[in-house]
Chains A and B, each alone.
Chain A
Amino acid sequence: MALMDFFRRKSSGDVAKDRLKLLLISDRANCSPEVMELIKNDIIKVISKYMEIDCDHLDIQITQTESDGSNGRVPALCANIPIKDMKHTSERR
C-alpha cells in the first residue's frame, strides 16, 4: 500500500499550483474575513425567514468543487447550515 501511495502522491509543484489557485480565488474575490462575515449575516437573515437554524455552528467558505461541465474544478461558496426546526411557512402565507 505504501508503495502505491508513493506513486499516487502529487508532486510538490502540483500541490503548490493547486493551493495557489484556491488562494487567488479568495484574494481576487476580495473576500476578506469581514466580507465573509457580511455574507454570513445576510444568509442567516434570509434562511431564518423559513427555518430555525443554529447560527453558532454555521460555517461558510469559498472552496473548489468538481464542475458538471468540462472545465474541471471551479470555485464554490460552500455553506454548512445546521437546521434546528422548520417553521410553518404555510401559516404565514
Chain B
Amino acid sequence: MSEVIVITSGKGGVGKTTSTANIGTGLAKLGKSVVMIDTDIGLRNLDVVMGLENRIVYNLVDVVEGNCRMKQALIKDKRYSNLYLLPSAQTRDKTAVNPEQMKKLIEELRPEFDYILLDCPAGIEQGFKNAIAAADRALIVTTPEVSAIRDADRIIGLLEANDIHQINLIVNRLRMDMVKRGDMMSIEDVIDILAIDLIGAVPDDEHIVIATNQGEPLAGDSSLAGTAYMNICKRILGEEVPLMNLEASNGFFAKIAKLFK
C-alpha cells in the first residue's frame, strides 16, 4: 500500500522543494519505489533541483488534460531506477488543475509506488488545495524564524480542517552556533510553539547550495544535511533514529580555530 505525503510550509523559500528532492532520493536509496510530483504549476523547480530539467517532454497538466499517458510524463531519475518525477507545467497557472483531478491522478499512481511525494507551492490558495487533496500525511517544513513559524501554524490548522491528522515537522536551516548564543529559536522552542511531532532537523549547510547548483540531491552522503535527510527518510519508514548532533565539525582548520576562541 502506498503512502501519499505532502511537503508543505505556507511560506515560500524555506526548503520545500529541496526537502522533497532529498527525501525522494533518500527513500529511493533505501530501496523504495518513489514518485515525486511537482504541484507548483507555473513555477516549477523540482526538476532543476533534481537535475532532470532537460528530460521533460510532458507534464502534470498534460496528464490531467489527457494529452499524454501517465507513463509518458514520468521521468526516471538519473541515479535511481526506482525514483520518478512528474514535473509541473511552466506555462500554465494553478487553475489548470482542480483537487478532484489531483485525487484521480494520484489514485492512478498508488498501485505503482511505495511513496508518492507532493511538493506543495507556497501560499494557501488553489495550488495548496490541489496538493493536499489526496495526501495521507504531511511534512511541514519551517525555519526557526517568526514569519515561517507563523505560516506553518496556519497551515497546520488548514490541514487539520481538511482531515489530515498525521502531521510532522521538519526544522530546516538551523544554525546551532546562533541557537547556543540565544539568537535563534531552538528545535525545542519551535516544537513547543507548533505542538506537532518532529521528524527531523536539518542544519544550515552550504553543501545544500552546492548540491542544488549541481542538480544532485545529497541525501545519504557524508554531509551534515545529507545525513539529516537520510535520518528523516528512515523515520518515515518507521525506524527509530536518534536526533543527530547538528554542529558542524568542519575539518581540521575549524578545530584549530576553535582552540583559539
Contacts and interface: CB of A to CB of B under 8 A. Distances in A.
Contacts of B182: 11-14
A20 B183 contact: no
Contacts of B181: 11
B185 A24 contact: no
Interface in B103-126: none
Nearest to B179: A13
B186 interface: yes
Contacts of B236: none
Given A19-B146, A21-B193, A13 B185 contact: yes
What 6 pairs across the A-B complex have the smallest Cβ distances?
A11-B182, A13-B182, A12-B183, A17-B189, A13-B185, A20-B146
Interface string A1-38: 00000000001111011011101100110000000000
Interface string B161-183: 00000000000000000110111
- Chain B binding surface SS class: helix
Contacts, number: 38
Nearest to A30: B157
B150 interface: yes
B184 interface: yes
A20 B157 contact: no
Given A24-B193, A27-B154, A28-B157, A16 B146 contact: yes
Interface of B: 145-146, 149-150, 153-154, 157, 178-179, 181-186, 189, 192-193
Contacts of A27: 150, 153-154
Contacts of B157: 28
Contacts of B185: 13, 16-17
Interface string A39-58: 00000000000000000000
Contacts of B186: 13
Contacts of B153: 24, 27-28
15 contacts: A11-B181, A11-B183, A13-B185, A13-B189, A17-B189, A17-B193, A20-B149, A20-B150, A21-B193, A23-B146, A23-B150, A24-B153, A24-B193, A27-B150, A27-B154
